[in-house]
A and B are shown apart, each in its own frame.
Chain A
């Protein structure tokens, strides 16, 4: 399983994951609550800052390339959004509205690109601790079996299962192709579903055997 993280040694990489997440949350909340009319300059500054951020984190060549990838992922959406906005409001405000969404998305992607998955898991487990101590909510979650270490285990299980299921899907399609079965294009899903659930029950047995009950 390949993550979107790109290793590096910039100060953005070294900055603690929790701090980066907090900064992103504050930034996006502030931008969403401010009216569009006064946002033109902040949005320009934000877009420039995020572009510089990509350069600082990954150097000129790779920085531009990564930012291009993250922009391209949503270009269709930005285009549709711009068309809509221009139809609804003056040109200037429409551009600011699109720029705001684009700036927040790029900031979030910059965070993702500079933070290893393990650091994010640590933040998630750290956040779950206090959540479980909230009165009413915490005990309710705990009674349903939510525990920080189990969440970590479940995440690991998903990552290994994605690899296994991809393999199963390929096998099912190859098996059907080799038998010359020309079924509907979705006919491979039922065998995949059955095999996946059987795999889940096997993993469950293995977990039970290791004392996770």
Chain B
């Protein structure tokens, strides 16, 4: 058991037997990646979040998972993995942060954010792929990931979430936007974290990003 957990830098060493066909678009491997990313978003929601002093709102890592889905899987598969999560949640599995789930979540005021996740993952994937080009240079990778996460993971999600709150609750848009400010520090932190993670991933498991 312990041998499966090595430091990320050396984890790829014994696994060089794989033929180099990472760009293959066959359904099986793609399906597996989508499903595992969905599971990762769910697991990140269960794990304890990052404590940030001075902020009362608990920061869950679930939107970090949404950003990672876009970065790793690209626009279409990233959005598909979030949709898959929503389908399972709607069916009654407690996969959202804090063990929440069921159709009630989609009748509640946070439904806008949940819809935003789908488009957010899409935009993250789109922007990251476009800005990153073909290089693996760390600086370029980090810049592309940071811009992608801020645009897709914050701006797009808020663009759906704030009107959602306003529509369901009848609170005017500007008031809903004001209430949303409480989440901004946490989300900025998550965008930074996703950037660091993608740079680390490119070094530890470059296959993942091809």
Contacts and interface: CB of A to CB of B under 8 A. Distances in A.
Contacts of A3: 91-94
Give the interface residue-count category, chain B: 35 or more
Contact of B92 (A5, A28, A197): A5
> Chain A interface secondary structure, helix, strand, loop or mixed?
helix
A190 B169 contact: no
B8 A108 contact: no
A30 interface: no
Nearest to B2: A175
Interface string A157-172: 1110110111011011
Contacts of B183: none
A84 interface: yes
Interface in A58-74: 70, 73-74
A75 to B, nearest CB: 12
A97 B42 CA distance: 31
B87 A155 contact: yes
Given A111-B103, A112-B102, A200-B32, A117 B92 contact: yes
A190 B170 contact: no
Nearest to B176: A84
Interface of B: 1-2, 4-5, 7-8, 11, 15, 18, 26-40, 42-44, 46-47, 50-51, 61, 64, 68, 72, 76, 84-85, 87-88, 90-95, 98, 100-110, 168-172, 175, 179, 193, 197, 200-201, 204-205, 207-208
Closest 8 CB pairs of A and B: A204-B29, A112-B102, A207-B28, A161-B39, A157-B35, A120-B91, A108-B103, A200-B36
